[in-house]
Amino acid sequence: MAGNSRRRGAVRNTGSKKGAVVGSGGQRRRGLEGKGPTPRAEMRPGHPAQRRAAAAAKAAQGRDRKPEGPEVIAGRNPVVEALRAGVPGTTLFVALNIDADDRVTEAVRLAADKGISVLEIPREELDRKTNRAVHQGLGLQVPPFEYAHPDDLMALARDSGEPPLLVALDGVTDPRNLGAVVRSAAAFGAHGVLLPARRSAGITAVAWRTSAGTAAKLPIAVATNLTRQLKAWASEGLMIAGLDADGSVDIDGLDLAADPLVVVVGSEGRGLSRLVRETCDVTVSIPMAAGVESLNASVAAAVLLAEVARRRRIAGRV
């Protein structure tokens, strides 16, 4: 048409632009320059060496688990038992003007023999240091507890010449229960106790007191992952027996007692966690009279460990 001077294919200018046309902005040149030296394998996310390094660091963190500061064991019997057991005390606190009996005299003598400082302090100050615990005028300050490595427990058990007997705690958060389990484990011949790094009580002054000093005699280790550690022990020939109210066998039918064994004690309320239960070769219940509530974790552990010790004596294995 005469009035249409535009040629076919021409772009009509509408007066608006979608955006300026830009060049590469130097991206091609920078791409040719390279990205610098290749990071070490341990620094590259997703690399097997990086995953191994991260796992090792996490495991080391679990092994180094310690209370934040020194603890104070309170009470005449616990203090004397701890000193007899060689608990690494740093200071013995004695309240002013207390009635000294044989336990006080022995505590002061043992502390002096071991080079532990003996300080007389007002009772009010001792109340504060022990968080108002029943101290009976005596308190023993101990440094943060040093945990062993799980491999140390197995090495000790192997070197004993006896079938290994280890105790693992799955989520026991009450330090009194922990201390009682440690005491029972030592009394019935266990070679060590294993704690998970998370959701578990640690060896505090309360646990020291309940264990009556046996925490100094028995190695206690921390596992970053309890299930993985139990599987590792199983691969070394240990059988895994978990305490459970709905166990697959009762305590009378525990035929594994004289074999290399790990006894797993569940938490006070939930019992064994699902993954730990699935790892067990057998779950064990304790028969009880009708209408009686279940035993708490430490009492149930003592009953089972006593039965294991009895069967081992009969079998002539210890």
The 10s digit of each residue's pLDDT in 50-61 is 666 665 554 444
Supply the pTM of this predicted model: 0.68
- CB-based contacts of 233: which residues, under 8 Å, 6+ apart? 150, 154, 166, 240, 262
| Residue closest to 264 by CA, chosen among 145, 197, 172 | 172
pLDDT tens-place string over residues 78-135 = 899 888 877 888 999 999 999 989 999 999 999 999 999 999 999 999 999 998 989 9
Question: Which range is least confidently modeled, 47-51, 203-207, 252-256?
Answer: 47-51
Stretch 160-167: mean pLDDT, rounded?
94
Specify the pLDDT at position 215: 82
Stretch 270-289: mean pLDDT, rounded?
92
- Residue 209 predicted with pLDDT over 60: yes
191 in Cβ contact with 164 (< 8 Å): yes
How far are the Cα atoms of 24, 50, 221, 267 from residue 75, in angstroms, in the given order? Answer: 78, 49, 26, 27
| Residue closest to 266 by CA, chosen among 148, 193, 169 | 169
pLDDT tens-place string over residues 301-313 = 999 999 999 999 9
Specify the pLDDT at position 44: 65
185 vs 289: which has the higher pLDDT:
185
83 vs 31: which has the higher pLDDT:
83
